Amino acid sequence: MIETDEPVAIAPPDLAEYRHGPFGVDFVQHFDSGSPGPHVLVCALVHGNEYCGAVALDQWLRAPPNLRAGRVTAAFVNMAAFGQFTAGDPHASRFLDEDFNRLWTPEVLDGPRSSRELTRARDLRRLVDEADFLLDLHSMQYSSPPLLMCGPLEKGRHLAFALGLPYDVIADAGHRAGRRLRDYGGFGARPARRTPCSSNAVSTGQRTASLSQAPSCGGFSRILA
Ligand SMILES: [Zn+2]
């Protein structure tokens, strides 16, 4: 258990209505403008205890703006871990068996191992493969200003600054423990049309939602504009 003195400030959102979607994959919704354009994948709850992004994505889904072009897929990723969330130990529900955000290489995804997170990753992989842009909404375990994690490539830095958000932009190379979703396949290749922008959307995650919803909403409203 990670010690923290920061109380949980908001209740977890009720996401039950999003279970059934058009792809037959639980907790994935889709909007199609009907006009050609990029396919944007917005992910929340890659880590089951970071539900600030889910609150923001829920708000967006309740009143989505008219898309001028392209498509948006919205995925609530680790719902199984999120379902285990308790305010008394908010870090325990980050994942069930292993970190979903360390599985994103073909070797792991096509390999023999099994876990609940790998099953979910394999279910979502086709949608990830089809996406042109990724916005992956996370939150921090401790208080910090809002930030965007753009990855090590020029295309990620370009998108992060093009959003025009007043947040720090962090370029990092990932984790030794395994490849992140934002670095998977074409997202981590240069040059490529696929451009991830991982919004690590604020301070104490689930504990100070009033801070974290705004950057999350602002982040993906800008990226979808
Ligand atoms: Zn996270």
CATH number at residue 76: 3.40.630.10
Q: What is residue 207's DSSP assignment?
A: G
C-alpha 59/C-alpha 54 separation (Å) is: 8
- The H or E element spanning position 53 is helix 52-62
Exposed/middle/buried for 203, CB within 10 Å: 0-12, 13-18, 19+?
Answer: buried
Distance 206 CA to ligand 1 centre (A): 11
Domain annotation covers residue 1: no
pLDDT tens digits, one per residue of 12-57: 999 999 999 999 999 999 999 999 999 999 999 999 999 989 998 9
In the sheet that 39-44 helps form, which strands lie side by side, from edge to edge? Answer: 28-32, 71-76, 39-44, 133-138, 195-200, 147-149, 168-170
Distance 65 CA to ligand 1 centre (A): 26
Domain annotation covers residue 8: no
Distance 30 CA to ligand 1 centre (A): 23
pLDDT tens digits, one per residue of 49-88: 999 899 989 999 998 878 899 999 999 999 999 999 998 8
Distance 100 CA to ligand 1 centre (A): 9
Pairing, β 168-170 against β 147-149: parallel
Distance 101 CA to ligand 1 centre (A): 8
Distance 66 CA to ligand 1 centre (A): 29
Domain annotation covers residue 3: no
Domain that holds residue 104: 16-224
The number of domains in the chain is 1
